[in-house]
Each structure stands twice: as C-alpha cells, then as structure tokens.
Amino acid sequence: MTVLVADKFEQSGLDGLKASGCEVLYQPDLSGDTLAEALRSTRASVLVVRSTQVTEAALDAGALSLIVRAGAGVNTIDLAGASRRGIYVSNCPGKNAVAVAELTMGLLLALDRRIPDNVADLRAGTWNKKEYSKARGLYGRTLGLLGFGNIGQEVARRARAFGMPVLVWSRRLAGDAEARRQVAETHDVEAVATAAELVSRADVVSVHLALGKDTRGFVDADLLAHARPGTFFINTARGEVVDAAALEAAVKDKGLRVGLDVFAAEPPSATGPFADPLVALPGVYGTHHIGASTDQAQEAIAAETVRIVRTFKDTGRVPNVVNLAKQTPATHMLVVRHRDRPGVLAHVLDQLRAAHLNVQEMENIIFDGAQAAVARINLDGPPPDATLGAIRTGHDDILDLQVIARA
C-alpha cells in the first residue's frame, strides 16, 4: 500500500508507516496542482495531510481510498467530494486536546497579567510595576466554554485547578436537559441551555467549536452583545467561527480583552507576512496557530495516524472515519440463512438486481465449522414475494429467508 504524506510529519510516524509494510512517499511541501500531480503519478492509496487543502481536483487526480487528517478538524478536506467517490476520511480526535488546552490557559494568564506588555516594556528598558500590578486574578472568576468536546473538557479540568467555576454550552446539549444534568454531574461543571446565557454570565469566554456550516460566524454581534464590559475572550478553535468585525467592535465598545491563536485569514504557509486589524488593538494578544504544536501532541497524532493506516491495511476498516452515513437509508433487511457454498450470495444478489433493489449494507456471518452462514442484507425497499420465491427455489443451498422492516 502506497502512502503519500503531504505535510510535515514526525519521523516516528514515517517509521511506523514503513514498519506496517507501507511504501511511504514523504513530500511535505505539496499543495494545489502539485498535490494533484503527485496523486496522479504515484497512484497512492492513502493520503496523510495536516493543513494542506484537499480539493475535488486532487480527489479526481489519483486513486485514493483513504485520507487521514493528522489532527482533529477536517475542514481542509472536501468531505462531500470524498464521500461521492467512496474515499474514507479519518482524523485523530483528542490527540492534541491537552496541547490546545495548555495554550488556552496560557492565553488566559497572559490576558489577566498582561504578560506580553510586561515583556515589551522590559525589553524597551522600562520598569512599570505600578501599572502591571493591576491584575484581577483568576480565582473565583467564571469561565464559559462554547463547545465541550475533548479540548473543552481538558480546559475545564485545568480551570477548576485554578478555582474557576465552569459553564459549558454545546449544540449536542442545547435541547436535552437530562444530557446537561449528566454532563454537569460527570465533569463538575454547569451546562447551560443557550450560548447567550453562557456569554452573559461568564467572566471569560473560550471558544472550542469545530468549524462547520452551522458554526461559521457563530460568535457574531448578537452573541457578543450579551458579554459584559471587560470580558476576556479566547479563541483557540478556528478563526472562521468568530465574526472578526463583530469582535473588533466589541473590543472597542466594551473593552473586551482578547487572546487568539487562530484567524480567519491566515497565511497559506508556515511563514510569511500577516495583517489583521484585531491584533493591532490594545488588549488583544495573538499566537501563530500553534495550539496543537507541542512535541507531545505531534507524537501522539503520528502514532494515531499509523494506527489508522495499519488497521485499514490489515482489516479494511477505518478508525475515526468521519464521512460515513450516520444511519443507513435502508428500509428493509433481508436475512438469508444458507450453506457456506460458492455462488449462493451471487444468486441472491442477482435476484435483488432483477427486482431493482439496491443493497445499502451487507454482512455474512459464518458459523463454527464453516458449513453454514447468515447474510444480513439491508435494502432500499421491500423485496416482492416473487423475488423471495425465486431466491428460495433457485438455489439448493438457501435454507431460510426472513424480511425485517427497519424502523
């Protein structure tokens, strides 16, 4: 199996892929047309990326079966295009959660103690203890987390160690009071029903939402209107989740203090010029999208990438796959008990094809001794009686049939 790695990747990961029996092509500077050409010329089965955009043109160029995002999000990959072509897309959720949580707490401390300004004055030869002794402190201040996945949970653990009460809101909890109760009990937090309530009650708002069509621009002027003057605001998720113009206005009008690791318009490469009106404002601190960039996190992501590829190579299964249907569109299941002989399932499938029934999912379970098996075939409609009769009588190794209507 040929694996094309098109981004910077740990040596331990490259070694692990090779030890799994893969041919590894390491070309970390590919993008756009050069990525498409590499996929075309190598005919790689697996593509490993981090921040590289995987477009429909790249998907068309090669013979991919699997794309692994060596990180948490998959917003740089054309998921719909991959799904239309039957290409698995997988990621490494949770492996960088601790690293991002650590940076979140670092930004929070920097905002409270104005650490970057302290450093700037010292380097400029200015001693100003009087000015920088005005921190409010974190103990007892309420932290509000927009999003409560792996990263949000790690942030909550660290915030509680600082003595901060924690509010959480997430889309999956919004309409489920019992789920909110269970999360509150399990994680020692308070789960609220609306994002507006969280923002209105929090001294610190930290964003941990995945980027998708429902979250793009989620933190907008209407939501920020609920923030109290002087609220701390941190985003280590994705820049596009926040309406930058609305945040800029809130900084100017309400004195929000802001810590950002992500921006909507980041340079396409690891180095280069950067301009954003937000970072020029007083009280706004920024880092260079480095949330996941610790040695610990990158080694963990590399190990998980190797596990995904090895599992796919050895079993055909894909851990952490993100683009399979959540629920089969099948309406009926045909259960076929049969002798384990050549041609039995071919006969069944021929009859289903003749009836214009589409097989959505299928599994064939073998009994001990390999003399008999049961096939479970999910269909997009009920098989007619004539089709069932043709299946029963058309092959001597059919033992029994059952049709189950799916809920």
Report CA-CA distances (Å) from 6 to 53, 145, 169, 306, 373. Answer: 10, 33, 36, 15, 43
Quick one: tokens of 325? 């249907």
Residues 300 and 6: their CA atoms lie apart, in Å, by 18
Going by their DSSP bridges, the two strands 46-49 and 2-5 should be labelled as parallel
- Three-point CA angle 161, 162, 167, nearest 5°: 85
Whole-number Å distance between alpha carbons of 152 and 145? 7
48 φ, ψ to 5°?
Answer: -115, 125
Report the distance separating Cα 261 and Cα 42, nearest Å: 36
What the block records as the tokens of 22 is 């893969």
Partners of 338 in the β-ladder: 373, 398
Q: Which residue has the tokens 């959505």?
A: 360
Chain length of the chain:
407
Per the structure block, which two tokens stand in for 406? 């799916």
Rounded-to-integer distance, Cα 303 and Cα 76, Å? 21
Which residues, 6 or more positions from 80, have their beta carbon under 8 angstroms from its beta carbon? Answer: none
Residues annotated as catalytic (active site), given as ranges? 238, 266, 289
CB burial of 367-387 (b: ≥16 within 10 Å; e: otherwise) equals: eeeeebbbbebbbeeebeeeb
Q: How far apart are CA 80 and CA 87, in angstroms?
A: 10
